[in-house]
Amino acid sequence: MADKKNQVSRRQFLNYTLTGVGGFMGAAMIAPMVGFAVDPLLKGEKDTDYVYVMDVNEITNEPQRKTFQVDQVDGWYESKVDRTAWVYKDENDEILALSPVCTHLGCTVDWNSNQDFPNEFYCPCHDGRYDKNGVNIPGTPPTEPLHSYDFQIQDGKLMLGKAKARKGA
Amino acid sequence: MLQKMYDWIDERLDITPIWRDIADHEVPEHVNPAHHFSAFVYCFGGLTFFVTVIQVLSGMFLTMYYVPDIVNAWESVKYLQTQVAHGQIVRGMHHWGASVVIVMIFLHTLRVFFQGAYKKPRELNWIVGVLLFFVMLGLGFTGYLLPWDNKAFFATQVGLEIAESVPFIGGDLKTLLAGDPEIVGAKTLARFFAIHVFFLPAALFALMGAHFIMIRRQGISGPL
């Protein structure tokens, strides 16, 4: 049997077929379970709704802290969760709505709250600082500017969407 | 590649005798369906084990989404079945496998009984097998409540009343199972979940270990 060149012996043949068929059956069993487990990766990002926060004519040059609620669907649990934004107009009269989440490690920043650093966004956790445009001040822990909310203006009302990293701010 | 990795480990740890000891054993001719087709009856024990493995695996994955809480249990089952990838298949495996495993155990028991394979020296293994059967029924009973739908609730209600009908200790037995003398609710569900995923599987694995060690030690009973 095995003395002819390149011939598969009976034992090898059985090994290959049994391993192959067994492997196939095992894979068929495991595959749906793995898909089940990695489902959060397959879900992708959800569309965000824009939520009313304040009237445009109330926006000042001084950052105002605004809280609003968004609907959150967390698997089988649906709830409303609070979001906060610092809303103001910058020196070019452009509207900015900044997320208060520090880009260092995610603490909450406050405007003009530290006497040593007036007119800055200040993070109490590790002395992270941002200038009035929300740009991180070199030499402090944050590595990028505060994220800004996407916004829309409908009939003079400011509607906020998702907070995203700012390009080149 | 694989062979080289194996050799590297084997050279240092000498692992070959360990698995050889487990894997090398002769399958007698009278239990080999290739020789006598009627020998397929010897497969039911192995099939029971196979389905048990599927139950353990699918159950592990189901607990990634399931929560044993009366407010969320049903919603989480609905979510994992309808929204999660392959959820219907994974839950289906666990649901149908639960019935199949009982059927397989029953067929395995019939074979052992009618062949008289339980007789000396295998009495102990028969006893362990019966205990395994009870553990499996317990898994079925506790698992039935977990989806927390109407069928689950009322089936458990009935099951608990059966437990209550036991003379003298029935009342206490029911309270112990349900976690409350009257209510079938939050405490019952949490308790049944704990029993279903921790206590009974632990007992199951221990008994299966004993079952397999004994059959390996004593060998399969001879031909009729």
Instruction: Please tell me whether residues A24 and A65 are part of one structural domain.
Output: no
Nearest CA to CA, how far is B91 from chain A (Å)? 10
Instruction: Please tell me whether residues A22 and A83 are part of one structural domain.
Output: no
Instruction: Please tell me whether residues A59 and A92 are part of one structural domain.
Output: yes
ipTM score: 0.86
Q: What is the pLDDT of residue A4?
A: 62
Q: Which of A32, A37, A42 sits opposite B64 (nearest CB)?
A: A37
CA closest to B75 among chain A residues: A76
Look at residue A99 and tell me if it is in a domain: yes
Look at residue A82 and tell me if it is in a domain: yes
**By C-alpha distance, which of B147, B1, B160, B156 is closest to B78?**
B147
Instruction: Please answer whether residues A149 and A161 qualify as being in contact, where contact means their C-beta atoms are separated by less than 8 angstroms.
Output: yes
**By C-alpha distance, which of A105, A102, A104, A109 is closest to A65?**
A109
Domain with A102, as residue range(s), is: 51-164
B164, B167, B168, B173: CA torsion to nearest 10? -30
Look at residue A150 and tell me if it is in a domain: yes
Spell out which residues of chain B touch residue A32, defining contact as CB-CB under 8 Å. 86, 89-90, 93
Look at residue A116 and tell me if it is in a domain: yes
| Cβ density class B47-79: b for 16+ within 10 Å, e for less | bbebbbebbebbbebbeebbbbebebbbbbbeb
Percent of chain B with pLDDT over 70: 100
Q: Which of B58, B78, B86 sits opposite A76 (nearest CB)?
A: B78
Q: How many domains, chain A?
A: 2
**Residues 6+ away with beta carbon under 8 Å from A118:** A112
Reported as half-sphere exposure (CB side, CA atoms, 13 A), residue A76 has a value of: 18
Instruction: Please tell me whether residues A78 and A122 are part of one structural domain.
Output: yes
- Between B27 and B209, the higher pLDDT residue: B209
> pTM for the whole thing?
0.86
pLDDT at B27 over 90: no
Instruction: Please tell me whether residues A77 and A99 are part of one structural domain.
Output: yes
pLDDT band at B80 (very low <50, low <70, confident <90, very high): very high
Instruction: Please tell me whether residues A38 and A59 are part of one structural domain.
Output: no
Residue of B2, B64, B66 to mutate when probing chain A, most A C-beta within 10 A: B64
pLDDT band at A169 (very low <50, low <70, confident <90, very high): low
The answer to whether B199 contacts chain A (CB < 8 Å) is no
CA closest to A38 among chain B residues: B85
State chain A's mean pLDDT as an integer. Answer: 89
Instruction: Please tell me whether residues A95 and A150 are part of one structural domain.
Output: yes
Q: Using the beta-carbon criterion (under 8 Å), do A29 and B54 form an inter-chain contact? A: yes
The answer to whether A44 contacts chain B (CB < 8 Å) is no
Spell out which residues of chain A touch residue B80, defining contact as CB-CB under 8 Å. 36
Nearest CA to CA, how far is A15 from chain B (Å)? 14
**By C-alpha distance, which of A159, A49, A73, A140 is closest to A102?**
A140
Q: Determine if the peptide bond prior to B68 is cis (ω within 30°).
A: no
**Residues 6+ away with beta carbon under 8 Å from A117:** A129
Look at residue A169 and tell me if it is in a domain: no
Handedness of CA B74, B75, B78, B79 (dihedral sign): negative
Instruction: Please tell me whether residues A58 and A108 are part of one structural domain.
Output: yes
Any idea which of A100-104, B88-92, B150-154, B187-191 has the lowest mean pLDDT? A100-104
Nearest CA to CA, how far is A77 from chain B (Å)? 8
Q: What is the DSSP letter of A167?
A: S
Q: Which of A32, A42, A75 sits opposite B90 (nearest CB)?
A: A32
What fold does the segment set B1-218 form as a domain? Cytochrome Bc1 Complex; Chain C (1.20.810)
pLDDT at A168 over 60: no
User: Which residues between 87 and 146 in chain B have a beta carbon less than 8 angstroms from any beta carbon of chain A?
Assistant: 87, 89-90, 93
Instruction: Please tell me whether residues A113 and A95 are part of one structural domain.
Output: yes
Reported as half-sphere exposure (CB side, CA atoms, 13 A), residue B107 has a value of: 16
Spell out which residues of chain B touch residue A38, defining contact as CB-CB under 8 Å. 85
Q: What average pLDDT does this structure show over B132-139? A: 98
User: Which residues between 110 and 169 in chain A have a beta carbon less than 8 angstroms from any beta carbon of chain B?
Assistant: none
pLDDT at B135 over 90: yes
Residue of A38, A76, A78 to mutate when probing chain B, most B C-beta within 10 A: A76
Instruction: Tell the residue number behind the tokens 């969760």, with chain if given.
Output: A81
Structural domain boundaries in chain B:
1-218
Q: What is the SS3 assignment for chain B?
A: CHHHHHHHHHHHHCCHHHHHHHHCCCCCHHHCCCCCHHHHHHHHHHHHHHHHHHHHHHHHHHCCCCCCCCCCHHHHHHHHHHCCCCHHHHHHHHHHHHHHHHHHHHHHHHHHHHCCCCCCCCHHHHHHHHHHHHHHHHHHHHHHHCCCCHHHHHHHHHHHHHHHCCCCCHHHHHHHHHCCCCCCCHHHHHHHHHHHHHHHHHHHHHHHHHHHHHHHHHCCCCCC
Instruction: Please tell me whether residues A68 and A89 are part of one structural domain.
Output: yes
The answer to whether A77 contacts chain B (CB < 8 Å) is yes
Q: What is the pLDDT of residue A92?
A: 85
Instruction: Please tell me whether residues A37 and A5 are part of one structural domain.
Output: yes
Q: Where are the alpha helices (DSSP H) in chain A?
A: 10-37, 39-43
CA closest to B73 among chain A residues: A76
Query: B200-224, pLDDT tens digit by residue?
Result: 999 999 999 999 999 999 999 988 8
Instruction: Please tell me whether residues A87 and A129 are part of one structural domain.
Output: yes
